[in-house]
Every structure is written in C-alpha cells, then in structure tokens.
C-alpha cells in the first residue's frame, strides 16, 4: 500500500490521484513549477463546508446554548490550532508539495499550512464524494475536538484571566520573560510567566502573543489544579 493510500485510509476517504495531488500543492511549490494550480480554491471550498458542518452539528448537539456560546465552540474547533493538531496526528505534512524555501523553513509543520491543507482535503472530499462524505469527515475528525483537553479553553484570554487571579490572591508582581530563536522567516518564541521571582508556566509559539497566552494558561493550571476551565 502506497503512502497516499495509507493516508486516505486513515482519512476514510477515496480521492483520485490528480485531486489528491492538487489538495496538497502549496502556492510555494506552484511558484517554482511554472504556476501550476494550487490547493487554495479547494481550501476556500473546504473552509465553507467546515463552517457549515460544525454549525449544523453544534445546533443539534446543544439545543439550549445561545448563539454566542455556539460561536465560541465553533471558533475553537475550526481554528488554525485545532486543524493543525488534526493534521499532525494524521501526518499530513509528509505529503505536502512545498517550494524549496518553504520546505527548508519547516513548512511541513507550520500550523497555518497544515490547517489550510485540512480545509483543502475537505474541499476535495466534497467534490469527489459529495456532502455526506464531507460531513462524515468533519464528524470523525473535527467535532471530537470539543472534548480534547488540548483545546479546552482555546478561546479564553488567559493573560486577562491569570492577571485577575494573581491580583485577587495578592500573589505578587506578574511579568513575562520572552525569548526568540530561529531565523526571521521561521521565528519561534518561548515565554515564561514569573510571579515575583518565581517562574511558573511556559509557552511556545510563532508569536510573542501566542507564547504568552500559553504561558498564562499553563500558570492557571498550576495555580488551580483540578478546577474547571473558566467560562469566557
């Protein structure tokens, strides 16, 4: 069994070779190969289908939730972070067609590229197999993330939450220590949250903001073991 067939088996879909290749063709590869078609049109289609299928699922699953809460749940599981998690679990990055520069900067593991590719795969599934297969894809891989501990509280502003906790408990002065590493085109950041002179949670991310949010989240977990994630 080829690697392509193995991936489609894990995805639970059947796509012809031409459409499969298109779904994995990043614009950087297209630029270096005569401007061949990219996966961006499939991504556009898949994004719309994803939003509809998740909204449909949430509407039926939570009949008593108001619109605002439904929107927050949808945002969490159709986010770049969520879709990239799925892609990494499925090892989608191995199949990407990337330009040399993007490949050298570890584009196969970039959350934005992986998330876009998941949407293009969904778009391809819809075109080849129809709406029922596309909906089944979403129900199999996306909606279960509502219970994934890696995404609980994904839409929470953790920096605000932890600032309020530290102030209310009079724990001391809060500050973030942030360091960057790597080349400019693939910069990553490490943030450590300190309260007075003690270090607490650490966070990593492609931006200072994301690293600080994760550090704040990890600090909240340390300060509140066993408690429920706060509601937005």
Binding site members for Mg(2+): 43, 116, 119
Q: Which residues are annotated as a binding site?
A: 43, 116, 119
Report residue 37: phi and psi, to 5°: -60, 145
Given the residues 6, 14, 47, 173, the one annotated as active site:
47
Out of 102, 119, 212, 214, which one is annotated catalytic? Answer: 119
- Determine whether 148 is an active site residue: no
Q: What is the 3-state secondary structure (H, E, C) of the chain?
A: CCHHHHHHHHHCCCCCHHHHHHHCECHHHHHHCCCCCCCHHHHHHHHHHHHHHHHHHHHHHCCCCCHHHHHHHHHHHCCHHHHHHHHHHHCHHHHCECCHHHHHCCHHHCHHHHHHHHHHHHHHHHHHHCHHHHHHHHHHHCHHHHHCCCCCCCCCCHHHHHHHHHHHHCCCCEEEEEEEECCHHHCEEEEEEEECCEEEEEEEECCHHHHHHHHHHHHHHHHCCCCCCCCC
Active site residue 47: yes
Q: How many CA atoms lie within 13 A of 172 on its CB side?
A: 9
Residue 81 in tokens: 């972070």
Residues assigned a catalytic role: 47, 119
């Amino acid at each position: 069994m080829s690697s392509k067939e193995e991936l489609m088996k894990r995805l639970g879909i059947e796509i012809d070779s031409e459409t499969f290749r298109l779904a994995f063709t990043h614009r950087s590869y297209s630029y270096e190969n005569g401007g061949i078609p990219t996966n961006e049109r499939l991504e556009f289609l898949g994004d719309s289908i994803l939003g509809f299928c998740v909204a449909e699922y949430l509407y039926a699953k939570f009949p008593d939730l108001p619109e605002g809460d439904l929107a927050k749940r949808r945002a969490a599981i159709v986010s770049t972070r969520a879709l990239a998690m799925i892609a990494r679990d499925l090892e989608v990055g191995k199949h990407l067609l990337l330009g040399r520069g993007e490949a050298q900067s570890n584009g196969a593991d970039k959350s934005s590229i992986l998330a876009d590719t998941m949407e293009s795969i969904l778009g391809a599934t819809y075109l080849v197999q129809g709406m029922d297969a596309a909906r089944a894809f979403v129900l199999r891989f996306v909606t279960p993330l509502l219970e994934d501990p890696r995404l609980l509280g994904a839409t929470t502003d953790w920096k605000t939450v932890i600032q309020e906790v530290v102030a209310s408990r009079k724990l001391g002065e809060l500050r973030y220590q942030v360091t960057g590493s790597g080349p400019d085109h693939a910069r990553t950041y490490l943030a450590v949250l300190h309260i007075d002179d003690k270090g607490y949670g650490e966070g990593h991310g492609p931006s200072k903001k994301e690293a600080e949010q994760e550090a704040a989240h990890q600090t909240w977990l340390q300060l509140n073991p066993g408690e429920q994630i706060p509601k937005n």
